[in-house]
Amino acid sequence: LPLMVERRYRELIRRGPLPGNPATVWEILVRAPNWVGDAVMSLPVLWGLRRLYPEASLTVLASPRVAPLFAGLPGLKEVIPYPMGWGKWRLLRSLRKRYDLALALPNSFEAAFGLWLTGVPYRLGYSADGRSPFLTLVVRGRRRLEGLHQVYYYLGLLTALGEVREFIPPTLSLTPAEREEGQVRFRFQAVNPGRPWVGLAPGAAYGPAKRWPPESFAQVAYRLQKEFAVNLVLLGGPEDREAALAVQDHSPAQILDLTGRTSLRQALMVLSQLKVLITNDSGLMHAAAALGVPVVAIFGSTDPRTTGPFSSRAKVLYQGLPCSPCLRRTCKIGYPCLAAITSEEVFQAAAPWLAEHP
């Protein structure tokens, strides 16, 4: 861990009893974050739990939106989809008395209350949202972690259970069969057979203050295809269809559009085949980084220090204007932080990854 992170961790305050001998902890339940990017950034917590409790089995409770991320991760016993509506209360009751320790990674009241309903004897989470009465082990002082990357924020919870001095960065893996499926998906759809694929992710769930203009994506796409003969693919969920269509409308480049046409797991397969992903601050950005795919990440209203791609193979473009990061969904003054990032900058950030290809 960086020394600054270690110092901040020492400022956290633990309240409540510890589980005791690690050998007595056999079953651990982890309530995962609800968004893809947050779920990816929480992955080091699972590795940390395996280190602290090597004999324990880990179960992840995750919304259906993010549950596929955890498939195939080493050391996981089970991934339980956490339903919406009244079904979640029935599920939580069905989990009663099955676990020795549980962690609430989201800061919401519901995450802690849900773990209380399961009857887990040791329930860990940050003090937030008035939920402390439903936790047995509370970490106070989370504001002292402001300015650190979200990866370190999630990992800080483990300081209540033991010393945290090392960690494994967010890492996703695919089976050989999944990687082969990703290759097959591209094999017969290449405009330029044998040439690399570049991904474009013009959407972002948070709002337009995180979305670089589609016409700018279109300009970069056209130039990359013209100068490097790359194949191009648009990626995103159904909510990103409008942005993807706008990119196609503004670009003469030939682009394969998979927006809204893949499951999350299939999107990971596609990401694994890319030479580089050009993306807004989004869940796909974090997933690509966790797969080891080079990323060009464009930031507007959010802060790359705290939610940037956690990867040495990433180039972040961020203007850092006096009003940045405002963390707003919309902007009353025309999104100057995004408008200031030019297509030339993005092209130059992506080009070195493509120059490596023969």
- As for how many domains the chain has, the answer is 2
**Could you give the 3-state DSSP secondary structure of residue 201?**
strand
Distance CA 268, CA 271 (A): 5
Beta strand 13-15 with 137-140: parallel, antiparallel or unpaired?
antiparallel
- Domain boundaries, position 91: 3-160
Global pTM reads 0.95
Whether 145 is covered by a domain: the verdict is yes
Q: Give the CATH number of the domain where residue 71 resides.
A: 3.40.50.2000
Residues 114 and 253 in one domain: no
Same domain, 11 and 156: yes
Positions in the chain whose pLDDT score sits under 70: 357-358
Residue 207 confidence (pLDDT) = 86
146-175 residue pLDDT tens: 999 999 999 999 999 999 989 999 999 899
| Structure confidence at residue 84 (pLDDT) | 86
Instruction: Write down the pLDDT at residue 202.
Output: 97
Per-residue model confidence (pLDDT) at position 22: 85
Nearest Cα residue to 208 out of 259, 281, 258: 281
Q: In this predicted structure, what is the pLDDT of residue 357?
A: 58
Q: Which residues contact 67 (CB under 8 A, 6 or more apart)?
A: 32, 60, 79, 80, 81, 82
Q: Which pLDDT score, from 0 to 100, does residue 83 have?
A: 92
Q: What pLDDT was estimated at residue 310?
A: 98
